[in-house]
C-alpha cells in the first residue's frame, strides 16, 4: 500500500532503490569530480533517479551548501514602457544560462519600500541583487547595507557601487553625427528638460544626453535653430513645441527629439502642416520605444539597450568582478525611415 500523500521522492529513495548509499547517489547526480564510481553504478543510479522521477529539494540543497542559485531583481517600477520588460528579459536570459532563477520584487515607485524589498531578498538569501531603476529621476536610493553583492542598473548612488548604464555620454554625439551625415545643414532640438540639468545626480541619463548633444552641436558644421525646452516628455509637449516653432517661422532641415514620445508629438504637428518626416525633413530621436516603429514613417531612434544592461548585471554578479564603478553600454542607432537623405 502506498501512503496516501504521494510523498516526494528523495535522495534516500533513490539510494535504496539502486542499492547505493545516499552519498554515492549525490555524487553521481551532481557528477562531482574526484569521485571514482563505476560506470555501471553511475548508469544504474541515473536510471533509477529518472524512473522514480527524483527531483532534488532546493531548500535542502541551499541549507546544506549555503548557496541558493537565486538572484534577486528589485525594480522601482515595472512600468508601462518597454524598459522594465526588456531588462527582465535580459536578466532572465543571462540567469538561465548560468542556472540561476530570479526572484522579483517592486517598490511600486515608493522609495521607502526599497528597504523592505531588500530585506525580503536577504531573507531569501539570494546570491546577488540587481536594483533596476526605470524612473531614473530617483535620488537618494537609500540602499540598506546588506552584505549582498549588488549591482545597480540605470541608476547611480552616492555610495560606491557597481552600476550599469547606457552610454549617454556618446548618445548625443551619435545623433549629431547621423544628422550631419544625412546632409542636413540646420537642426532644431526639441525637448530639453527645464529642471533636469540642475542636478546631474537626479537625472544622470538626461543630463548626459544633452551634455553630449550640446558639445557635439557646438563642434559640428550645423546651424542650430534653437533648443525648445519642455516641462515633460510626452507627445503633447512635443506637439506644442513643434507647433510653436513652425509658427515662428523656423524650418529646420532636421529635428532631434529628446525621446520617442516627444517625437510622436512632433510627427503630429508636422503632419498638420503637411510636412512628412523622411521626405521634407529629418527627425531623429532617442530611446527606441515601441511606438518608434508604429509611427508613419517609422522613426529612427538611438536605442536604450535595456536588455543588454540586464544581462550584463547578471554577468557582473556571477563573475564576481564587482569593483565599484560604471559600466556603460553602447546605444545603437536604429535606422528607420524618418531621416531625409539629402
Partner DNA sequence: CGAAAGCGCTCAGCTAGATTG
Partner DNA sequence: GCAATCTAGCTGAGCGCTTTC
Residues that bind DNA (CB under 7 A): 7-8, 10-12, 19-24, 26-27, 29-30, 32, 35-38, 40-41, 54-57, 60-61, 63-65
Going residue by residue from 210 to 249, which x/- string records binding to a copy of itself, judged by CB under 8 A? ------------------------xxx--x----------
**Shortest separation between residue 45's beta carbon and DNA, angstroms:** 9
**Shortest separation between residue 66's beta carbon and a copy of itself, angstroms:** 9
The partner in contact with residue 104, picked from DNA, a copy of itself, none with C-beta cut-offs of 5 to 8 angstroms by kind, is a copy of itself
Alpha helices in the chain (DSSP H): 11-18, 22-29, 39-52, 58-65, 82-97, 113-123, 168-182, 204-219, 235-247, 260-272, 306-319
Instruction: Report helix angle 260-272 to 235-247, nearest 10.
Output: 40
Strand partners of residue 285 = 301
Going residue by residue from 109 to 128, which x/- string records binding to a copy of itself, judged by CB under 8 A? ----------xx-xxxx---
Beta strand 300-303 pairing with 333-334:
antiparallel
Neighbouring residues of 173: CB distance < 8 A, sequence distance ≥ 6 = 212, 213, 215, 216
**Shortest separation between residue 32's beta carbon and DNA, angstroms:** 6
**Shortest separation between residue 128's beta carbon and DNA, angstroms:** 19
Piece of 12-20, 75-83, 179-187, 212-220 that binds a copy of itself (CB under 8 A): 75-83
**Shortest separation between residue 116's beta carbon and DNA, angstroms:** 19
Q: Is 229 exposed, middle or buried (0-12, 13-18, 19+ CB in 10 A)?
A: middle
The partner in contact with residue 262, picked from DNA, a copy of itself, none with C-beta cut-offs of 5 to 8 angstroms by kind, is none
Separation CA 88–CA 260 (nearest Å) = 21
Residues 278-317 that bind a copy of itself (CB under 8 A): 290-291, 294-296
**Shortest separation between residue 293's beta carbon and a copy of itself, angstroms:** 9
**Shortest separation between residue 123's beta carbon and DNA, angstroms:** 9
Q: Is 190 exposed, middle or buried (0-12, 13-18, 19+ CB in 10 A)?
A: buried
Separation CA 302–CA 334 (nearest Å) = 6
Beta strand 186-193 pairing with 162-166:
unpaired
CB closer to DNA, 122 vs 229: 122
Nearest to 308 by CA among 149, 163, 91, 161: 91
CB closer to a copy of itself, 2 vs 40: 2
The partner in contact with residue 190, picked from a copy of itself, DNA, none with C-beta cut-offs of 5 to 8 angstroms by kind, is none
Separation CA 78–CA 207 (nearest Å) = 23
Q: Which residues bind a copy of itself (CB under 8 A)?
A: 6, 55-60, 62-63, 68, 70, 73, 78-82, 84-86, 88-89, 92-93, 96, 101-106, 108, 119-120, 122-125, 147, 234-236, 239, 261, 264-265, 268, 271, 290-291, 294-296
Amino acid at each position: 500500500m502506498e501512503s496516501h500523500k504521494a510523498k516526494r521522492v528523495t535522495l534516500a529513495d533513490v539510494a535504496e532503490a539502486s542499492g547505493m548509499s545516499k552519498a554515492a547517489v549525490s555524487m553521481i547526480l551532481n557528477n562531482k569530480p574526484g569521485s571514482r564510481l563505476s560506470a555501471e553504478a553511475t548508469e544504474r543510479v541515473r536510471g533509477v533517479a529518472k524512473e522514480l522521477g527524483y527531483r532534488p529539494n532546493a531548500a535542502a540543497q541551499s541549507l546544506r551548501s549555503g548557496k541558493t542559485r537565486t538572484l534577486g531583481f528589485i525594480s522601482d517600477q515595472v512600468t508601462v514602457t518597454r524598459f522594465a520588460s526588456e531588462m527582465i528579459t535580459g536578466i532572465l536570459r543571462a540567469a538561465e544560462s548560468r542556472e540561476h532563477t530570479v526572484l522579483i520584487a517592486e517598490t511600486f515607485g515608493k522609495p521607502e519600500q526599497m528597504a523592505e524589498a531588500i530585506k525580503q531578498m536577504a531573507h531569501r538569501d539570494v546570491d546577488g541583487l540587481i536594483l533596476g531603476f526605470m524612473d531614473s529621476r530617483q535620488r537618494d536610493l537609500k540602499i540598506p547595507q546588506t552584505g549582498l553583492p549588488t549591482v545597480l542598473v540605470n541608476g547611480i548612488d552616492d555610495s560606491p557601487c557597481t552600476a550599469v548604464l547606457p552610454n549617454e555620454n556618446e548618445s548625443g554625439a551619435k545623433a549629431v553625427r547621423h544628422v550631419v551625415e544625412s546632409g542636413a545643414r540646420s537642426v532644431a532640438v526639441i525637448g530639453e528638460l527645464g529642471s533636469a540639468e540642475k542636478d546631474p545626480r537626479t537625472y544622470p541619463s538626461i543630463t548626459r544626453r544633452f551634455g553630449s548633444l550640446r558639445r557635439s552641436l557646438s563642434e559640428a558644421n550645423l546651424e542650430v535653430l534653437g533648443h525648445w525646452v519642455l516641462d515633460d516628455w510626452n507627445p503633447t509637449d512635443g506637439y506644442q513645441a513643434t507647433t510653436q516653432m513652425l509658427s515662428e517661422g523656423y524650418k529646420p532641415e532636421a529635428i532631434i527629439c529628446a525621446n520617442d514620445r516627444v517625437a510622436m508629438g512632433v510627427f503630429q504637428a508636422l503632419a498638420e502642416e503637411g510636412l512628412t518626416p523622411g521626405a521634407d525633413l529629418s527627425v531623429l530621436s532617442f530611446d527606441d520605444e515601441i511606438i518608434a516603429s508604429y509611427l508613419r514613417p517609422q522613426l529612427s531612434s538611438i536605442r536604450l539597450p535595456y536588455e543588454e544592461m540586464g544581462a550584463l548585471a547578471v554577468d557582473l554578479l556571477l563573475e564576481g568582478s564587482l569593483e565599484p564603478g560604471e559600466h556603460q553600454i553602447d546605444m545603437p542607432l536604429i535606422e528607420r525611415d524618418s531621416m531625409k537623405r539629402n
